[in-house]
Amino acid sequence: MTGKPKKYGEIKLSNKNVEFILKTLKNKPCLSNLKETSPEYFLLNYIQFETLTRLLLKYADSNLKPSSPIRMDSVTKAFNTFNLSISDQKLDILLNSKLNKVGSRSAKNLRNALVHAWSESARHEVESRSSILNKAIFEVINSIKELVNLSSESKKTEA
């Protein structure tokens, strides 16, 4: 990698990248004792989404600092680089910082409200919107799983 952001579809995951993502996916949080509508369930899934997204951001742009905020435009570019097709609507639900009105906050804004203040209104909003929020999170996680599986299968056929 040259250190510059790559263009659409230009990058393939290295064996090391695939192994690290697979390891991250295997270390997913235990959710079996949590209700799917609970804020804790949402937070643990959001953390996995954010971790995997950060990895793809890093692999797509080696100049990106690990502490860089996750911005929607950067995520869109990184996902496009790996041919991940996540709808703009799903990315809005997850990352749009402008969605900060109670009842329609993005997952990122809800995560911030929960982590930094354990906000009661954020807890209630997560509970009422859990199916929409979790569906968007799982769509990204599953797309990354599929990308890794395809990458590891193509590496096997190349060998």
Percent of the chain beyond pLDDT 90? 61
Tokens of 81: 């680089």
Whether the predicted model's global pTM rises above the 0.95 cut = no
Tokens of 74: 């950067």
For the stretch 39-79, pLDDT in tens is: 999 999 999 999 999 999 999 887 888 788 899 999 999 99
Average pLDDT estimate for 139-149: 93
For the stretch 13-26, pLDDT in tens is: 888 888 888 888 88
Rounded Cα gap, residues 59 and 113, in angstroms? 29
Residue-range domain boundaries for the chain: 15-158
CB 110 within 8 A of CB 125: yes
Alpha-helical runs (H) found in the chain: 15-26, 39-60, 72-81, 88-95, 107-117, 120-158
